């Protein structure tokens, strides 16, 4: 996969990782912006028209961060479970917005809660994808001490996805923090090995190892500009491609 080529890449099945913070208007006290969620849903709608099979993993950081609560004295496992429930709230908001756009979708939760979501069952999730549903994977892995980045890598591996799209608030992977270093270099492509050796912050170590071991490329892109989610999912060359090199 070459990020310098202008021809789009056709993916059959992908996982889109959304951060919880991406659903919040910057500076707002509201945890979820219906307008932002609606825009994301409309862009997903445009992307799946061509037959892309899409799973979505959404974080919960707009509501809760387990690691931060643990640092302030809360039991870490309990704090992480609270964070998993936060992802369910975000997943339901995304589901509602997608349905408003006419997109068939379903939420599967790693923590069973029958009134609001299906339990996560791998073969059932695959069948939903094959039937054209967007599957939103909620409640993380169902286990404490694992991030939603790891959830994205795990579900991508289980679903045999071609790629993970990591939607962030920066336009790719840099060799240093672009907010602190104006001379920071953005990579168009970078290998897993280079990310490890240079300690580039792509995903947490567990998630990154899963992607590397299962040969799943990660595309890191800025979701803020209008249309970028659609462009990324349609295989246009934006952001940074992390692969085997």
Query: Residue ranges per domain, the chain?
Result: 13-243
176 Cα distance to chain centroid: 22
Per-residue confidence (pLDDT) for residue 6, from 0 to 100 = 59
Q: Is 221 annotated as a binding residue?
A: no
**Is 233 annotated for ligand binding?**
no
Q: How much is the pLDDT for 2?
A: 41
CA 133 to chain centre: 17
Q: pLDDT band at residue 3, thresholds of 50, 70 and 90?
A: very low
User: In sequence order, which residues have a C-beta less than 8 Å from that of residue 167 and are 6 or more positions away?
Assistant: 16, 17, 18, 19, 22, 221, 222, 223, 228, 229, 232
Is 75 annotated in a binding site? The answer is no
pLDDT surpassing 90 at residue 83: yes
27 annotated ligand binder: no
Residue 4, pLDDT > 60, answer no
Cα dihedral sign, 232-117-205-12: negative
pLDDT greater than 50 at residue 80: yes
Residue 143 labeled ligand binder: yes
Q: Is 133 a known ligand-binding residue?
A: no
Question: Is residue 213 annotated as involved in ligand binding?
Answer: no
Determine whether the annotation assigns residue 124 to a binding site.
no
Q: Is the pLDDT of residue 100 over 80?
A: yes
pLDDT tens track for 143-191: 999 999 999 999 999 999 999 999 998 899 999 888 899 899 999 999 9
- Does the annotation list 142 as a binding residue? yes
Ligand-binding annotation for 24, yes or no, is no
Instruction: Choose between 66 and 53: higher pLDDT.
Output: 53
Q: Is 80 annotated as a binding residue?
A: yes
CB contact set of 180 (below 8 Å; sequence gap of 6+): none
Average pLDDT, stretch 90-119?
A: 97
228 is in an annotated binding site: no
34 is in an annotated binding site: no
Q: Which CATH class is domain 13-243?
A: alpha beta
How many of the other CB atoms lie within 10 Å of CB of 219? 26
| pLDDT of res. 98 | 98
Instruction: Label residue 66 by pLDDT band (50, 70, 90).
Output: confident
Instruction: Name the residue with tokens 């997943």.
Output: 91
What is the Cβ-side half-sphere exposure of residue 60, based on CA atoms within 13 angstroms?
Answer: 28
> Has 81 been labeled as part of a binding site?
no
Mean pLDDT of 11-17: 97
Q: Is the predicted pLDDT of residue 220 greater than 50, yes or no? A: yes
How far apart CA 14 and CA 29 sit, in angstroms, is 32
């Amino acid at each position: 996969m070459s990020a310098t080529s202008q021809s789009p890449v056709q993916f059959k099945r992908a996982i889109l990782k959304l951060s919880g913070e991406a659903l919040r208007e910057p500076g707002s006290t509201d945890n979820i912006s219906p307008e932002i969620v609606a825009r994301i849903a409309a862009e997903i709608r445009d992307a799946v028209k061509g037959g892309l099979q899409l799973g979505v993993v959404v974080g919960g950081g707009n509501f809760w961060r387990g690691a931060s609560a643990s640092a302030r004295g809360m039991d870490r496992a309990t704090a992480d479970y609270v964070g998993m429930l936060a992802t369910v709230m975000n997943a339901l908001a995304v589901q509602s917005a997608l349905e408003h756009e006419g997109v068939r979708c379903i939420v599967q939760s790693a923590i069973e809660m029958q009134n609001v979501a299906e339990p996560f069952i791998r073969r059932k999730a695959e069948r939903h994808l094959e039937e054209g549903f967007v599957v939103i994977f909620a409640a993380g892995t169902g286990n404490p001490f694992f991030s939603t980045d790891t959830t994205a890598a795990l579900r991508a591996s289980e679903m045999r996805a071609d790629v993970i799209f990591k939607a962030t608030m920066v336009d790719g992977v840099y060799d240093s923090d672009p907010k602190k270093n104006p001379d920071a270099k953005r990579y168009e492509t970078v290998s897993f090995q280079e990310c490890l050796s240079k300690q580039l912050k792509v995903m947490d170590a567990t998630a990154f190892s899963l992607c590397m071991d299962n040969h799943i490329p990660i595309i890191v892109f800025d979701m803020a500009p209008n249309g970028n989610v659609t462009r990324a999912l349609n295989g246009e060359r934006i952001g940074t491609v992390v692969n085997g090199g």
